[in-house]
Copies of this chain bind each other. A is one copy, B any other.
Amino acid sequence: MTHDRRSLTEGFLFTDQYQLTMAQVYWKKGLHESPALFDYFFREYPDYGRHQAGYAVAAGLGWLLDWIEATRITDDDLALLRGQRDATGAPRFDEGFLAWLKEAGDFSSVSIRSVSEGRVVHAHAPIAIIEGPLAVVQILETSLLNHLNYQTLIATKASRVTESAHGSPVLEFGMRRGPDVGANAGGRAALIGGADATSNVGVAHYLESDPAGTHAHSMVQLFMALGEGEIGAFRAYAEVYPDETVLLVDTIDTLDSGIPNAIIVFHELRAAGHEPVGIRLDSGDLAHLAVRAAAMLDEAGFPEARIVLSSELDELAMWQIRAQITEEAPRYGVEAEALLGRLAYGVGTRLITSHGYSALGGVYKLVAVDIEGEWVPALKISDTPEKMPIPGDKRVWRVYDSRGLASADVVSAADEDLLAITSIDLYHPHREGIVRRLDDVASVEELLVPVYHRGTRLDGSPSLDALRAWRTADLARLDPGVKRLVNPHVYHVSLTTAVKDLQRTLVAEARAGRRSVE
Contacts and interface: CB of A to CB of B under 8 A. Distances in A.
Contact of A518 (B256, B352, B365): B256
Contacts of A384: 283
A458 interface: no
A426 interface: no
A129 B24 CA distance: 49
Given A18-B213, A182-B178, A221 B380 contact: yes
A78 to B, nearest CB: 11
Interface in A380-403: 380-384, 387
Interface in A90-146: 90, 92, 134, 138, 141-142, 145-146
Interface in A194-218: 199-206, 210-218
Most chain B beta carbons < 10 A, residue from A29, A146, A383: A146
Contact of A252 (B9, B146, B199, B510): B510
Contacts of A229: 513, 517
A488 interface: no
B206 A1 contact: yes
A86 B242 CA distance: 10
Interface in A16-69: 16-22, 24-26, 28-29, 31, 36, 38, 60, 63, 66
A177 B378 contact: no
A11 interface: yes
A6 interface: yes
A32 B137 CA distance: 52
Contacts of A382: 250-251, 283
A51 B277 CA distance: 44
Contact of A18 (B11, B86, B216): B216
Contacts of A365: 217-218, 221
Which of A21, A261, A371, A384 has the largest count of B CB atoms less than 10 A from its CB?
Answer: A21
Contact of A241 (B19, B21, B181): B21
Given A181-B14, A244-B86, A283-B387, A380 B251 contact: yes
Given A16-B176, A16-B201, A257-B517, A381 B22 contact: no
B206 A179 contact: no
Contact of A243 (B24, B25, B86, B220): B86
Contacts of A377: 225
A302 interface: no
A145 B219 contact: no
Interface centre among A9, A175, A186, A376 (most CB of B within 10 A): A9
Contacts of A437: none
A266 interface: no
B359 A353 contact: yes
Size range of the chain A interface in the assembly: 35 or more
Interface string A404-446: 0000000000000000000000000000000000000000000
A88 B211 CA distance: 16
Given A13-B205, A241-B86, A22 B215 contact: yes
Given A86-B244, A224-B510, A358-B355, A217 B380 contact: yes
A87 B261 CA distance: 23
A218 B36 CA distance: 11
Contact of A9 (B3, B90, B203, B216): B203
5 contacts: A87-B244, A92-B244, A149-B177, A217-B380, A256-B514
Interface of A: 1, 3, 5-6, 8-11, 13-22, 24-26, 28-29, 31, 36, 38, 60, 63, 66, 80, 84-88, 90, 92, 134, 138, 141-142, 145-147, 149-151, 173, 175-186, 199-206, 210-222, 224-226, 229-231, 236-237, 239-241, 243-244, 250-253, 256-257, 260-261, 277, 283-284, 349, 352-355, 358-361, 364-366, 368-369, 371, 376-384, 387, 461, 510, 513-514, 517-518
Given A224-B513, A256-B518, 4 more contacts: A21-B213, A25-B237, A180-B181, A225-B376
8 tightest A-B CB contacts, nearest first: A182-B182, A17-B213, A18-B213, A179-B182, A180-B185, A179-B179, A9-B202, A353-B358
